[in-house]
Structure 1
Amino acid sequence: MSTWMVGLGMGFLLTLVVEPNLRNYFKRIKVEQLVMRTNGRGPDHAAKAGTPTMGGAGFIPVVLIGYLIIGGLTHHYAATAFATLIGIFLYAIVGGLDDSVKIFNQRDEGFRFLPKLTVEILAAILGALVLWFGHFDFVLPLPLGLPAVHSVLVYTLFTIFWLVGWSNATNLTDGLDGLAAGAAIIAYSAYLILALQVGDSAMALVDALMVGALLAFMIFNRHPASIFMGDTGSLALGAGLAMNSLVLHQPWSLLLIGLVFMLDTLSVLIQVPVYYFTGKRVFLMTPIHHSFEKGGLTGNVEHPWSEWRVDGFFWGLGLLGALLYFIFF
């Protein structure tokens, strides 16, 4: 049996055991979702208040420990995998602090911006440092046929930008039961295939562990969710996807493989300045998945979509983006 298949199975089985126990423990100590405020402008998510959150604290350690065990036993340790795991781990820590502040201080705003950004930047620098010690080829391919950039400094700066951007993009998508987890399963599966294609068995193991863990997590996170992943999970997932695209030398692949996360982020980037300067909204609500929840494909609020329908639509977009990447690039 291939090592990545073992990782897939181990990620699934361990998460299947860990998550329900973590959920029950968090419920006892009141690690619960706050009421989602929409001020009457969006779908009513008040029923989600009190659902245990920080579910990322269950499946992220499974991936980290699973890699250390399987990678060590099968000699699949590599700088690319360790750099990716550092990004995942540190962003999970940032997310955990963010969740903790929100939950225990009972406020919408979490970890302060400056220390949060500092840790996020540190994660990117540490990842680049691990790659440097692993004799990684710091080549940043550019789009549109432009010559690639051979520079450790430029690569590190781009890594900082890429990790911060995609971790927060994934965080924006985590607004409906199962939406971010399902989109991440598709994206990590795409990078699993890409890692196998380029012969990076260590990254294939990391991605297989993540896919297996997320598949098990979806059992508890699907609508109606009994636990949310929280910032602990979403920030870590985004960082892992960003690192995948970088260490596999396919950074721009994430624009298609991470299509769902990009669309949610673009909707916010469009809506905020337009509303600020004109007082008008381009979309019913952002991130855009809430627009579909509120008014479907046509924007008719008389015919809102269920969470399952929104999930299915955006998962379909994620799958389409990944397929387009493999077909054309």
Structure 2
Amino acid sequence: MSASAPSLIVGSAVLSFVVSFASVRMAMAYAQRRGMLDEPGRRRSHSMPTPRGGGIGIVLGALVGMPSALLLLPVSPGAATTAAFSVSVIAVAAIGWLDDHGSLPIRPRLLIQLAATLLLCVAVASYTSSLLWAIPLLVAGVWCINLHNFMDGIDGLAAQQAMFFGAAYAALAWSAGSPALAGAGLALGAAATGFWWFNRSPAKIFMGDVGSATLGLIVFALSAMLWAFRTNLLWPALIFSSGFVVDATLTLLVRMLRGARWYTPHREHLYQWLVRRGASHRKVALGYFAWNVLVCVPVAWIAFRWPAAASMCFGATYLLGAAVWRTGKHSCLRRRERHVSA
């Protein structure tokens, strides 16, 4: 491994942070001038008009640091995959940026997401045993984009998750022998940190679709590239995302089973219920961070060290996550019933 690899990794991360931080500062002024404000409402968790679109900082920071790490560091996923990644990120970010300026119909947004994700999936699948892998990858990619959009609803939560995922992913990829993927992960974490500084509670700016949708695509892309590099590494990567995946997936399934219009805005995720029952944004975000550190990190380490047990570690994490989700929801509902009866 080249002695310059650590320096390149750190350099990419620092550059991503600086570009993100500066871009968010400019986005705050831009959003105020253009009237890009999220107003408080029944389906929202904030009480003051707040600028949106700050996720453009994450996008620009990631585009500066991640492709350079993927191309210049050892064990690169290749120029074709890196190019597909960059084009996909730009496409999803662009449609999200337009949506932040004025709500777009769901069809053009979904079509762009599908096309961008398919391009990336074909590039990744071309390094596997069959291009047919692009089909399940496409489904996973589009869901990852949208679940991150769903989970971006309170101050600091989505950015905090991206910081954790980026850092944990970087450690995993470095340990597995891929400095290129490690550098890309750390660049993502650094770009998310540049935004988080302004988005932590009380938030000065929100991520917007430009940030949340693109963030979902990037998390998917990194996970897919790690899977293509070494199949068994997918399990610990998925464990890192378990908090968001469990909350978004179970909430969606319950809404569908109830016959609700699941694609419309709502406040039914666990993190939203916790805020509605009186917990602060900071406290809820801390709870998700505790899950990441106390559950995901040690279980992912076991999955990495003992590949034969990796799938069982993945299953156990998601079952435990589902149990925590159900317990949390029931607790919130009981407190609501006591409040109403009082």
For Structure 1 versus Structure 2, the TM-score category normalised by the shorter chain is 0.7 to 0.9
Give the alignment's TM-score, normalised by structure 2: 0.75
Give the alignment's TM-score, normalised by structure 1: 0.78
Partner deviation per Cα, 1:84-108 (whole Å, 9 max, x = no partner): 3333332222322322223xxxxxx
Paired residue for 1:152, among 131, 139, 145?
Answer: 131
In structure 2, the partner of 1:120 is 113
Paired residue for 1:8, among 13, 22, 28?
Answer: 13
2 CA distance for matches of 1:263 and 1:73? 35
In structure 2, the partner of 1:286 is 268
- Structure 2 counterpart of 1:126, one-letter code: L
User: How far 1:165 moved relative to its partner?
Assistant: 0.6
User: How far 1:152 moved relative to its partner?
Assistant: 0.6
In structure 2, the partner of 1:276 is 259
Contact 1:174 1:180 in 2 (8 A): yes
In structure 1, the partner of 2:288 is 314
**Secondary structure, aligned partner of 1:225:** coil
- Structure 1 counterpart of 2:78, one-letter code: A
Q: Specify every segment of 5 or more residues in structure 2 that has no aligned partner in the other structure, as ranges.
A: 1-5, 228-232, 261-265, 304-309, 311-342
| Pair 1:252–1:121, CA change in 2 (3 A) | farther
| Pair 1:131–1:256, CA change in 2 (3 A) | closer
**Secondary structure, aligned partner of 1:276:** coil
User: How far 1:36 moved relative to its partner?
Assistant: 3.3
In structure 2, the partner of 1:59 is 58
Matches within 5 A, 1:1-329: 1-38=6-43, 45-47=46-48, 49=49, 51-67=50-66, 78-79=78-79, 80-102=81-103, 111-131=104-124, 136-138=126-128, 150-153=129-132, 155-249=133-227, 250-276=233-259, 285-295=267-277, 304-319=278-293, 320-328=295-303, 329=310
Partner deviation per Cα, 1:196-217 (whole Å, 9 max, x = no partner): 2333333222222211111121
Give the CA RMSD over aligned residues. 2.6
Contact 1:193 1:204 in 2 (8 A): yes
2 CA distance for matches of 1:55 and 1:219? 11
- Structure 2 counterpart of 1:289, one-letter code: Y
Larger mean CA deviation between 160-169 and 74-83 belongs to 74-83
2 CA distance for matches of 1:26 and 1:287? 27
**Secondary structure, aligned partner of 1:187:** helix
Identity %: 25
2 CA distance for matches of 1:266 and 1:68? 30
- Structure 2 counterpart of 1:115, one-letter code: P
Contact 2:67 2:86 in 1 (8 A): no
User: How far 1:254 moved relative to its partner?
Assistant: 4.4
Contact 2:23 2:60 in 1 (8 A): no
Q: Larger % of helix: which?
A: 2
